[in-house]
Amino acid sequence: MSEKKIKGFAQQKVSLPEGKLKVIILDEADSMTGAAQQAMRRTMELFSQTTRFALACNISSKIIEPIQSRCAILRFTRIADEDLVERLKYVLDKESAPYEKPGLDALVFSAEGDMRNVLNGAQSTFNAFGSITQEYVFKMNDQPQPKKIKACLEAALRNDWPGAFGPVHEIHKQGYSSTDIISTFARVTKTIDAPEHIKLEWLKEIGLVHMRVNAGCHGLLQLDALVCKFLKAAK
């Protein structure tokens, strides 16, 4: 919506009951340029007696400070996995789409709390394969399979060096990027059954290697170093 449309709507004289206000909802407000936000700030000030603004964004720091100081900031956490599964089942049953429980778990794992991501993944998988299974979901999303990442971490807990390196090398040979592998490590580590102090140490090392890979360091070498850190922390 352009600044002219926003200002035009705010200026319109609308007959509302006593104490009622017009509401303008702006989605993806963090994609607005700084100049556009400055213009909107002025509009918010001029018509504050008759209009309220609701701004939805993913990164609040991209909203300029003068607007933030005029707003009440509400932060929403990610949707719980149980709620995602419940709603996903409801939609799939309504659409008569066949599914398996591991397939739903795979969709939820890939979505990271995003309901829209879950539904889009389910629709894409069903359209491509006619059924929603774990194999089809990961084939559709083209992500490293968490069970192999989990096998690496479980081997590290057993101090099994070949068992820890094997799955990582196998995933790397399949062509997955180091960044995708590291991101999957982070998600699996948060849910794996392991002592809390070990998981915290693992997550710290995952963050450090992610920083190095983004800086241009060699992918497989960094992954091998990461596995070594896993084994050392577990021991």
pTM, to two decimals: 0.65
Residue 75 lies in a domain: no
Is residue 38 assigned to a domain?
Answer: yes
Residue 175: C-alpha distances to residues 57, 139, 181, 210 (Å): 34, 13, 10, 18
72-117 per-position pLDDT tens digit: 999 888 888 899 999 999 999 999 999 999 999 989 888 878 888 8
The letter for the amino acid at 143 is Q
Looking at the fold, whether 163 and 133 belong to one and the same domain comes out as no
Q: Are 22 and 52 in contact (CB under 8 A)?
A: yes
12-56 pLDDT, tens digit each:
766 667 778 888 899 999 999 989 899 889 888 888 888 889 999
Residue type, 104: L
Residue 1: is its pLDDT beyond 60? no
CA 12 to chain centre: 39
Find, among 55, 53, 56, the residue nearest to 43 by Cα.
53
Is the same domain home to 152 and 132?
no
- Residue 187 lies in domain: 146-234
CATH code, 204: 1.20.272.10
Pick the closest to residue 109 from 201, 186, 177 (CA basis).
186
pLDDT at 78: 83
> Dihedrals φ, ψ of 33, to 5°?
-70, 165
Count of structural domains, the chain? 3
> Do 86 and 158 reside in the same domain of the chain?
no
End-of-domain residue from the set 31, 47, 68: 68
Mean pLDDT of the region 135-146:
82
pLDDT tens per residue across span 151-200: 999 999 998 889 999 999 999 888 888 888 998 999 899 888 889 999 99
